[in-house]
């Protein structure tokens, strides 16, 4: 495929080193790619890095340990990109991200509360406690969004935690507390307040039940209760919709060993996709983003569990949004998404298998390429099977990143620093 014909629409590069058009109206294929390969199979070097350096549209990229930002941040900046470093490893070095900045109605409040409660990793044996804490968190998010403006500094998680810590009842004979008085005063100035209505749903509970609901709600915020994160999330410097308006790359730095930030990471990806879809639907011509956005999600089935993703991936194509999902095995996806995993797989018109040791994954690949399970499990190192809907699958030797960089005369940030030292 001639590279010159791909400039208008852009292209993606697969492990065979060939370019494939991103013009989905012409190819009749979506641009979603599922990459499966065990640790050390060079998924980042072979798939993520070359496609990032193609500089097609905007990117939101999970960046374990921050290596991609350090190596390619200045390169992307030199090519006209707004470079955003969102670090959940070093919040003190990160751009600020405030999820409450994007809450404009009760539906978005419920989406955010659901992401908090269901993605926190803190589950109750009795769903009653999660359901009631959801209502209390709904009321508090609604309260701070109704009561504070963007400049007041009160529309953030830190303020919600502050209110929660003062919400408990000390006496069984009275339901008057610091929080209940706040809500009553708020309702007097905001008649029909949804925050007040949601609070009343849980304020009817007896003292011990109510205090347990409060404690359960506080537990949902435990991973964000640090001074560094409070500062990072006090306001917002990203503007999620701008990712679809101008060429932007967001490096989302995540730890590959510390899972305490998973809830925030999941929330960011969920909110970003929702914001971009809403922006495309409400404000963009033909409901398509002016700048296509590609999400590169490493370790997708663990620290990138997007709420309702199985439905979202079926509909993002029309908005000019696509994903590259990185897994170690298909079993990993099954464990995280259950039956919905099959929907996610079906909505990726390109599948790349780079080798592994999981028999269930090997069986699925063997069926697809009409080979034995043994041949899939014993496939040579540095090779991949490539599956494209409507085409015969084939095995190829993987693209060498060094060859790609040499061919395109590309030097990363670290290489540029070395050249400066030489000069």
CB contact at 8 A, 326 and 298? yes
What angle do helix axes 207-220 and 127-147 make, rounded to 10 degrees?
Answer: 70
Q: What pLDDT was estimated at residue 373?
A: 97
* Beta strand residue intervals within 256-340, DSSP E: 293-297, 321-327
- Cβ–Cβ contacts within 10 Å for residue 339, how many? 8
> What is the DSSP-derived secondary structure letter of residue 44?
I
CATH topology of domain 3-87+247-422: Rossmann fold (3.40.50)
101-105: Cβ within 8 A, 24+ apart: 101/150, 101/155, 101/235, 101/236, 102/236, 102/240, 102/271, 102/275, 103/141, 103/145
Q: What pLDDT was estimated at residue 7?
A: 30
Q: What pLDDT was estimated at residue 8?
A: 42
Q: What pLDDT was estimated at residue 415?
A: 52
Ranges of the chain with pLDDT below 50: 1-8, 416, 418-423
- 145 phi/psi in degrees, rounded to 5: -75, -30
Q: Report domain extents, the chain.
A: 3-87+247-422, 100-229
Q: What pLDDT was estimated at residue 120?
A: 53
| pLDDT tens-digit series, residues 230-262 | 999 999 999 999 999 999 999 999 988 888 888
Residue 253: which residues within 8 A CB-CB, separation 6 or more?
A: 63, 64, 65, 66, 69, 85, 86, 87, 88, 89, 90, 94
In the block, which residue shows the tokens 């030292």?
421
Q: What pLDDT was estimated at residue 423?
A: 31
Q: What pLDDT was estimated at residue 124?
A: 57
Q: What pLDDT was estimated at residue 1?
A: 36
Tell me the chain's radius of gyration from C-alpha atoms.
24
């Amino acid at each position: 495929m001639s590279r010159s014909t791909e400039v208008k629409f852009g292209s993606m590069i697969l492990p065979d080193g060939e370019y494939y058009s991103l013009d989905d109206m012409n190819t009749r294929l979506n641009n979603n790619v599922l990459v499966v390969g065990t640790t050390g199979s060079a998924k980042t070097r072979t798939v993520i890095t070359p496609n990032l350096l193609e500089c097609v549209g905007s990117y939101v990229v999970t960046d374990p340990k921050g290596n991609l930002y350090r190596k390619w941040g200045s390169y992307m900046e030199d090519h006209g990109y707004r470079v955003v470093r969102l670090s959940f490893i070093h919040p003190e070095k990160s751009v600020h991200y405030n999820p409450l900045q994007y809450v404009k109605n009760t539906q978005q409040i419920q989406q955010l509360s659901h992401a908090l409660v269901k993605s926190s990793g803190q589950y109750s044996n009795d769903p009653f406690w999660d359901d009631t804490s959801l209502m209390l968190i709904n009321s508090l998010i609604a309260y701070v969004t109704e009561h504070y403006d963007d400049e007041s500094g009160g529309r953030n998680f830190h303020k919600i935690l502050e209110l929660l810590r003062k919400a408990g009842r000390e006496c069984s004979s009275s339901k008057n507390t610091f929080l209940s008085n706040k809500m009553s005063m708020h309702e007097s100035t905001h008649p029909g307040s949804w925050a007040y209505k949601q609070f009343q749903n849980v304020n009817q509970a007896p003292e011990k039940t109510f205090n347990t609901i409060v404690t359960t709600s506080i537990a949902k915020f435990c991973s964000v209760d640090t001074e560094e994160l409070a500062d990072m999330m006090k306001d917002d410097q990203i503007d999620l919709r701008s990712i679809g308006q101008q060429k932007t790359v967001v490096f989302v730095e995540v730890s590959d060993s510390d899972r305490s930030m998973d809830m925030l990471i999941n929330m960011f990806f969920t909110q970003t996709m929702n914001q971009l879809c809403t922006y495309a639907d409400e404000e963009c011509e033909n409901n398509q983003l002016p700048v296509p956005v590609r999400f590169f999600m490493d370790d997708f089935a663990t620290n990138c569990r997007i709420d309702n993703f199985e439905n979202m991936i079926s509909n993002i194509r029309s908005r000019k949004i696509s994903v590259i999902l990185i897994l170690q095995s298909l079993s990993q996806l099954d464990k995280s998404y259950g039956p919905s995993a099959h929907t996610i797989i079906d909505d990726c018109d390109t599948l790349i298998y780079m080798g592994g040791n999981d028999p269930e994954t090997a069986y699925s690949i063997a069926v697809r390429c009409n080979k034995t399970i043994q041949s899939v499990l014993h496939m040579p190192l540095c090779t991949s099977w490539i599956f494209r809907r409507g085409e015969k699958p084939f095995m190829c030797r993987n693209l060498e990143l060094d060859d790609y960089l040499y061919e395109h005369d590309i030097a990363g940030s670290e290489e540029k620093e070395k050249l400066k030292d030489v000069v």
